[in-house]
């Protein structure tokens, strides 16, 4: 778990002006930061090539609570972890993920673009991530563009069941997507696994939209640009949690602490837990 930080000023002032017994008798309300899950987006993507073992290992070293991964499928049916629907930006190859075989995808260099020290990093298989990290760190699994990969929900379900990650337990697994129909389906397939809906649109934060999400989801995960106190309160009042993305500055992290979200999804885990530097 990440920090439960006292920003300091409120408590420090109280200590100066109040009797000690009074200070400790009261629940601090000002300046307190709630406990927030620190989610390393695509690994610690600010410091290492995104969606690689180097990045996910670094996130674990930085004591993130979760790693965030994007799952897609190769031409020959292997589930793989990569964000874009093409390999062009993050590897030395070209083409759509779904048009390349697993062997072709695995042969690509997914590290050099971030720095020569990462040369040889490859696109991980979903299985590889489950095997390496389950029980060590939570895994926030995004189904990326599942409409491109019919049946991917069943395949992800099978993989999670193979690893006994389909039941309530301490192993933290959350599944999320921008595709709401896919998430409804996942909730049916894995009723005990928390489901998240991703959005950057205010059209999806109306009371009606939130009520609809509450019928199958546990998390509403908005881009931080549309986060307000009202939204967080509205989501909480329906029994769901808020995870917001993508933090790439300390100011953005501080804003989300202020909004009292439940999880911060960040390329820089140390912005959420300053003690956990690279
Ligand atoms: O986990 C939230 C975030 O990953 C959603 O956006 O484009 O980085 O997959 P994206
Ligand atoms: Ca993602």
3-class secondary structure for 1-60? CCCCCECCHHHHHHHHHCCHHHHHHCCCCCCECCCCEEEEECCCCCCCCCCCHHHHHHHH
Predicted pLDDT at 32: 63
Atom 2 (ligand 1) nearest CA: 245
CB atoms < 10 A from the CB of 197, how many? 25
What average pLDDT score do residues 11-28 get? 36
What average pLDDT score do residues 79-83 get? 98
Say how far apart CA 194 and CA 217 lie, in whole Å.
Answer: 7
**Domains of the chain by range and CATH?**
35-272 (3.20.20.190)
83 lines ligand 1 (CB under 6 A): yes
267 lines ligand 1 (CB under 6 A): no
83 tagged catalytic: yes
Say how far apart CA 204 and CA 208 lie, in whole Å.
Answer: 9
CB hemisphere CA count around 145 (13 angstroms): 14
Confidence of residue 34 (pLDDT cuts 50, 70, 90): confident
Predicted pLDDT at 278: 58
User: Is pLDDT of 23 > 70?
Assistant: no
pLDDT tens for residues 46-74? 999 999 999 999 999 999 999 999 999 99
What average pLDDT score do residues 28-38 get? 69
137 lines ligand 1 (CB under 6 A): no
Give the closest residue to 92 by CA, choosing from 72, 57, 121.
Answer: 121
- Residue 7 CA to ligand 2 center (angstroms) comes to 30
User: Is pLDDT of 131 > 70?
Assistant: yes
Supply angle C-alpha 78, 147, 169, rounded to 5. 65
Query: Do residues 2 and 25 make contact, with C-beta atoms less than 8 angstroms apart?
Result: no
265 lines ligand 1 (CB under 6 A): yes
Atom 7 (ligand 1) nearest CA: 83
Predicted pLDDT at 277: 60
Ligand 1 atom closest to Cα of residue 70: 9
User: Is pLDDT of 8 > 70?
Assistant: no
What residues contact residue 161 under an 8 Å CB cut-off, 6+ apart?
none
For residue 140, the ligand closest to its alpha carbon is 1
Report helix angle 126-133 to 152-162, nearest 10.
30
268 lines ligand 1 (CB under 6 A): no
Atom 3 (ligand 1) nearest CA: 245
273 lines ligand 1 (CB under 6 A): no
Confidence of residue 176 (pLDDT cuts 50, 70, 90): very high
Q: What is the mean pLDDT of the chain?
A: 89
Task: List the single range of 16-20, 147-151, 259-263 with lowest mean pLDDT.
Answer: 16-20
What average pLDDT score do residues 253-259 get? 97
User: Is pLDDT of 125 > 70?
Assistant: yes
70 lines ligand 1 (CB under 6 A): yes
User: Is pLDDT of 111 > 90?
Assistant: yes
Ligand 1 atom closest to Cα of residue 176: 1
41 tagged catalytic: yes
More confident residue, 170 or 22: 170
Q: Which of 45, 66, 68, 71 to mutate to test the pocket of ligand 1 (most atoms within 8 A of CB)?
A: 68
Confidence of residue 167 (pLDDT cuts 50, 70, 90): confident
Say how far apart CA 207 and CA 104 lie, in whole Å.
Answer: 46
Confidence of residue 25 (pLDDT cuts 50, 70, 90): very low
Q: What is the pTM of this model?
A: 0.89
């Amino acid at each position: 778990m990440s920090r439960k930080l006292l920003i300091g000023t409120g408590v420090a002032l109280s200590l100066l002006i109040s009797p000690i017994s009074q200070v400790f008798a009261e629940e601090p309300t000002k300046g307190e930061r709630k406990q927030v899950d620190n989610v390393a987006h695509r690994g610690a993507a600010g410091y290492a090539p995104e969606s690689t073992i180097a990045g996910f290992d670094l996130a674990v070293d930085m004591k993130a609570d979760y790693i965030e991964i994007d799952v897609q499928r190769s031409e020959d049916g292997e589930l793989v972890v990569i964000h874009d629907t093409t390999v062009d930006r993050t590897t030395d190859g070209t083409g759509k993920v779904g048009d390349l075989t697993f062997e072709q995808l695995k042969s690509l260099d997914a590290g050099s673009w971030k720095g020569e020290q990462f040369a040889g990093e490859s696109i991980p298989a979903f299985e590889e991530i489950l095997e390496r990290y389950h029980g060590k760190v939570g895994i926030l699994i995004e189904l990326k563009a599942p409409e491109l990969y019919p049946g991917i929900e069943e395949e992800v379900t099978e993989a999670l069941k193979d690893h006994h990650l389909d039941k309530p337990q301490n192993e933290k697994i959350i599944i999320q997507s921008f595709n709401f129909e896919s998430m409804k389906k996942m909730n049916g397939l894995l009723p005990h696994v928390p489901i998240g809906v991703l959005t950057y649109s205010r059209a999806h934060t109306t009371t009606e939209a939130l009520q609809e999400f509450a019928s199958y989801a546990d998390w509403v995960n908005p881009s931080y640009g549309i986060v307000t106190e009202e939204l967080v309160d509205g989501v909480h009042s329906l029994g769901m949690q808020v995870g917001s993305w993508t933090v790439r500055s300390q100011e953005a992290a501080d804003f989300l602490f202020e909004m009292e979200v439940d999880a911060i999804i960040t390329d820089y885990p140390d912005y959420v837990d300053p003690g956990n530097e690279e």
